[in-house]
Chains A and B, each alone.
Chain A
């Protein structure tokens, strides 16, 4: 089955710096890679996702890159702000009909210091 590894487990940056979180996956059949943000005590919420037919996707200060050959994908946050502080999870799945079985990484706790 699929296995997703995520690094680092914790990340501390100064406000305005960039943050990068990396994930690797094992199953070459996986073709959908979302990133979720979870604030303390809240539910996970999707912030960006990418399908395997593209190599990069951007949404304002957030971007995700995918390297299918190496089986890894990364989240890039630029110009970080204190409200970016949260736990970020990557996930991978094979898109199958109307459902997808997400396999999550263990998470990265990002702290942005003013």
Chain B
């Protein structure tokens, strides 16, 4: 039971390149989330998926797209990377019902040159 996994762990891109960050969970949780973490700014919600087949914007969605491929997987895509997207990206998953805890993945450290 790995919980929430993310790939890759590290990535360096040049401005304008595209890439997809992968997230998978093996806990059969319904909702999934993508956050970015920048120094001094805490975690900010980029997009979330309340359930399989649905996605919605969070606080900072510009420059990103997401896909909820199935119940397990939720990917984040940068179509044309910019230096302002240099950050640590965390994926999280949360079960349905009364348990509110969001379980986080290990993170992806992305640098855009």
Contacts and interface: CB of A to CB of B under 8 A. Distances in A.
Contacts of B95: 98
Contacts of B100: 32, 34, 49, 95, 100
Interface string B69-113: 000000000000000000000100011110011101111000000
Nearest to B32: A99
Interface in A97-114: 97-107
B42 A34 contact: no
A104 B43 contact: yes
Contact of B45 (A6, A32, A101, A107): A101
Nearest to A105: B42
A99 B31 contact: yes
Contacts of B51: 98-99
SS class, residues of chain A in contact with chain B = loop
Given A98-B50, A98-B51, A104 B105 contact: no
B50 to A, nearest CB: 4
B42 A89 contact: yes
Contact of B104 (A9, A32, A43, A49): A43
B107 A102 contact: no
Nearest to A9: B40
B67 to A, nearest CB: 17
Nearest to B95: A98
A34 B50 contact: no
Contact of A99 (B41, B43, B94, B106): B94
A8 interface: no
B44 A43 contact: no
A35 to B, nearest CB: 11
A20 interface: no
6 contacts: A43-B90, A43-B104, A43-B106, A99-B50, A99-B51, A99-B94
User: A-B pairs with the 4 shortest C-beta distances?
Assistant: A99-B31, A98-B96, A104-B42, A43-B104
Given A98-B94, A101-B48, 19 more contacts: A9-B40, A34-B100, A34-B102, A43-B104, A89-B43, A97-B50, A98-B31, A98-B51, A98-B96, A98-B97, A99-B31, A99-B48, A100-B31, A102-B33, A103-B45, A104-B43, A104-B44, A106-B40, A106-B42
